[in-house]
Structure 1
Amino acid sequence: MFEDIPVDVSPMYEGERIRAANMFVELAGPKSIGAELVQVEEDVEDGKIEVIGPDLNGMTEGEIYPFGLLIQIKGEKLEKELEGVIERRTHELCNYIKGFMHLNQRDQIWCRVSKEAVESGFGFEHLGKAISILFKEEFPIIEAISIKVLTDREEVETFLDNASKQYEERDAKARELSDEDVDVFYGCVMCQSFAPTHTCVVTPDRTALCGAINWFDCRAAAKMDPDGPIFEIEKGEVLDDVKGEYVNVNTVMADKSQGTVDRVYLHSVFGYPHTSCGCFEAVAFYIPELDGIGIVDRDYKGETPLGIPFSAMAGQCSGGKQVEGFAGLSLEYMRSPKFLQADGGYERIIWLPKAIKDSLIEFIPEDLADKIPTEEEANSIKEIRKFLREHEHPVVERLKESKKSAAQDVETEEVVEETATGSEFMVDEAPMQQVGYVPELTVPSSGGMKIIFKNAKIYAEKVIIKKK
């Protein structure tokens, strides 16, 4: 089946990482442009593979190139609504090819080809042939398939413009439905090869973290392939409709994560935020000094107000981890009326890149649009605080109320007292804002002892350390 392809093709290679030291070239990704698109067409020449632009043997080792992948399919049972579903499987199937790494989706794809694959004679025609075979195996309803691989910059730019319009048409359709209109949500485990404890919960108001799959796509996928990676979750009993907590969702999360995660809030970054894979389009992150939330997407090249770029932040919360104060999300979710509703929605957003703000401006409440700073107005905590005060952002009043409440409830300083055993410590409790979370923190102490906090949630209005 794959005899003419000079590298192995097998599910065993899914999850293969190609590091910079073993990379021949990089395709698309954060330093270039690219996109992938599946289209159902009436006229498709089966088996046709075109490479438009330099092939791998004409590329320079270590360079980064634009990359486009157009997959045209035909079949009596194929419908336009299946395009997004089949397109999302590109990620999984491309990773079956040894020496070819595929990350993300849509216009966020990021691919690498290994030196070993190129030395074996692997080229883009082989990529197209492998994808064609794999898609037909995975989806028997595909009767004909043709592939275009684009590496010429002008061709990729034109292709990207067209693909973006197709993505928007799909997303606009999904906005017509809300969570209250349905009895079924969907789960997706397509990213578990990279994030073993992650299950993406997709609802009408909450698209998949990758941004490539909405509720309609999931419905079509589950019907077409009931045993596939996308499956139904009966909505069932609602535990908290504001936070977005459901009994059945919790049960599925516990089962699919082997008990690692047993509780999830769909619309909050606090408490039990949704796990994050690695394909998410953006990250919501808590800024404790201002009791607000920032958003950063993978296209943003600078540092966030926390002093780290998107890549470092993504590394902290990806891989299927559930980290309070951080949550991967899709940009389409930011267009939902339920966007982080448990946290205050846009009234809690205090920073985001200008590119995101401009693209979402019609979905941001009009009275808040000028009150949320971007990197052009503020980058540091100090600059953001000044901007928020000058523009009377709602979070400023929230901070005032929080300080007032803390002042009323805390009339004396908290003192850490050693108990009679000399090895345990107690802290008087008081209602304050959470300012951090650490899985484990070791604090040195006198007398040869160490204080170890595990899974610590840290709350403070003020921290004072005194030597007695």
Structure 2
Amino acid sequence: EVERMYYEALRIYEARDAKARGLKDEDVDEFYGCTLCQSFAPTHVCVITPQRYSNCGAISWFDGRAASKVDPKGPIFRIPKGECLDMVRGEYSGVDKIVQEKSLGAIKRVHLYTAFGYPHTSCGCFEAIAFYIPEVDGFGVVHRDFKGTAVNGLKFSTMADTTGGGRQVDGFHGISIEYMRSPKFLVADGGWERVVWVPKAVYERVKDFVPEKVRDKVATDEDVKTIDELKEFLKAKGHPVVSRWKLVEAEVKPAEVKVEETAGVALPQQTQATVLEGVSISGVPITSGGFKITLKGARINIDKVIIRRSSSTS
């Protein structure tokens, strides 16, 4: 009986969500906000739009509108959109104003459609976390019910500690499952063309909303277990994110380092070249020991480096 009711509830929620998908953020003059989670995330303000559900997945734009009318002074309230400051990242003057007021000045700007810069704050009851994987320059998504270890070696609970609390944390972004079905899903970061790993249980629920060109190129927990396996999977499948690796490699050029002698102080004559991955530096004196520096995905521009020997004092 419980199982029957569970699937009946899913059917009802799906019908509700489908209705909400008919609206676009550009079609409305106001969004809605929720501060129900401020008891444990004091600076969190959830911004609910037609194309971005509440992080917990429980409140759609229509739900927010109804709740704000029932109790205009309650924890769910109107947010006039105001001027659109950044259409791609999703920044609105009205949202910034209300979020700053409701967070008591802790949060001043919000970008609704990105996990970087000024990302939407995360409470603690989010359904899933979109997390950045620097080794592949892509995103993974892990949901609350996933009991295993994500491809980055972390469990959901560990990442939740980093993500939650009402903070804006670059690369760790609390989201709802329904948001993954939205055309606005991380659109400023590349959307689904930047997503590389999702547990199969969730991927099957949202797969029909994934663009066809990447639908069979996103790895699941059944496909890969480690970052190295993920890299091989993405290359074999021809995932769009692989082209970003080649672009970054092409942009990393050798940097020239000039060493000048300070008047009256001679630098040691014995020097050796120090080679960094993708960057060659010569003429830097190494008098003892050694070191290794690895730069990955770096863009370096150096006009001049001056090395001076400081005088010793007794």
Fold match by TM threshold 0.5: yes
Q: Deviations over 1:147-203 (max 9, x none)?
A: xxxxxxxx3322212211121111111001000110001111111112111000000
- SS of equivalent residue, structure 2 residue 208: coil
Tell me whether 1:156 sits opposite 2:2 in the alignment.
yes
The one-character-per-residue Cα deviations of 1:88-143 (angstroms, maximum 9, x if unpaired) are xxxxxxxxxxxxxxxxxxxxxxxxxxxxxxxxxxxxxxxxxxxxxxxxxxxxxxxx
Q: 2:255 aligns with which of 411, 427, 438?
A: 411
1:368 aligned residue (201, 214, 230): 214
Whether contact under 8 Å (1:273, 1:326) holds in the other structure is: no
1:411: Cα distance to partner? Answer: 2.6
8 Å Cα contact 1:192/1:198 also seen in 2: yes
Q: How far does residue 259 in structure 1 lie from its aligned partner after superposition?
A: 1.4
Deviations 1:338-389 (A, max 9, x none): 1110000000001110111111111001111111111111121101100111
- In structure 2, give the amino acid aligned to 1:301: K
Q: Does 1:170 find its partner at 2:6? A: no
User: 1: CA distance between counterparts of 2:245 and 2:69?
Assistant: 48
Q: Tell me, what secondary structure is at the counterpart of 2:132?
A: strand
Q: Within the alignment, does 1:291 sit opposite 2:127 as a pair?
A: no
Which one-letter code corresponds to 2:56 in the other structure?
C
Measure, in 2, the Cα distance between the counterparts of 1:248 and 1:236: 4
Return the offset for 1:269. 0.4
Q: What is the one-letter code of the residue matched to 1:176?
A: G
Structure number with higher relative contact order (C-alpha < 8 Å, ≥ 6 residues apart): 2
Runs of 4 or more, structure 1, over 3 Å off, are 412-415, 459-463
Structure 2 contact 248–298 (Cα < 8 Å) conserved: no
Query: How far has the Cα of 1:255 moved from its partner?
Result: 1.2
Pairing partner for 1:257 from 70, 92, 103:
103
Q: 1:380 to 1:328 in 2, by over 3 A?
A: same
Matched, 1:198 2:44: yes
Contact 1:265 1:273 in 2 (8 A): yes
Partner SS state of residue 252, structure 2: helix
Select the structure that is richer in strand: 1
TM-score, L = length of structure 2: 0.81
Instruction: Identify the match of residue 326 of structure 1 among 149, 172, 175.
Output: 172
- 2:35 is matched by which residue type in structure 1? V
Q: Matched residue of 1:239: which SS?
A: strand
2:8 is paired with a residue whose SS is: helix
> 2:54 — aligned with what?
208
1:345 and 1:412 map into 2 onto residues whose CA distance is 37
Equivalent residue, structure 1, for 2:297: 461
Q: CA deviation at 1:306?
A: 1.8
Contact 2:89 2:188 in 1 (8 A): yes
Residues 414 and 293 of structure 1: CA distance in aligned 2, closer, same or farther (over 3 Å): farther
**Contact 2:48 / 2:54 at 8 angstroms: preserved in 1?**
yes
Which structure 1 residue ranges, 5 or more long, are not aligned?
1-154, 416-458
Q: 1:197, 1:260 within 8 Å by CA — same for their partners in 2?
A: yes
Q: Tell me: CA distance 1:414–1:210, structure 2 relative to 1, closer, same or farther (3 Å).
A: farther
CA deviation profile, 1:428-462 (whole Å, cap 9, x unmatched): xxxxxxxxxxxxxxxxxxxxxxxxxxxxxxx9536
Query: Match of 1:303?
Result: 149
Q: For 1:233 and 1:353, locate their aligned partners in 2 and report how far apart those are by CA, in whole Å.
A: 34
Counterpart for residue 117 of structure 2:
271
State the shift of 1:414 in Å: 11
Q: When the two structures are aligned, how many residues end up with a matched partner?
A: 266
Question: Are 1:237 and 2:83 an aligned pair?
Answer: yes
Inter-CA distance 414–311: structure 2 relative to 1 (3 Å threshold): farther
Distance 2:248 2:257 in 1: 17
Q: Give the aligned CA root-mean-square deviation in angstroms.
A: 2.0
Residues 45-56 of structure 1: pairs in structure 2 closer than 5 A: none
Provide the secondary structure at the position in 1 that maps to 2:255: coil
Q: Secondary structure at the match of 1:226?
A: coil
Gaps of 5+ in 2: 260-294, 300-308, 310-314
CA positional deviation for 1:317? 1.0
Distance 1:413 1:326 in 2: 36
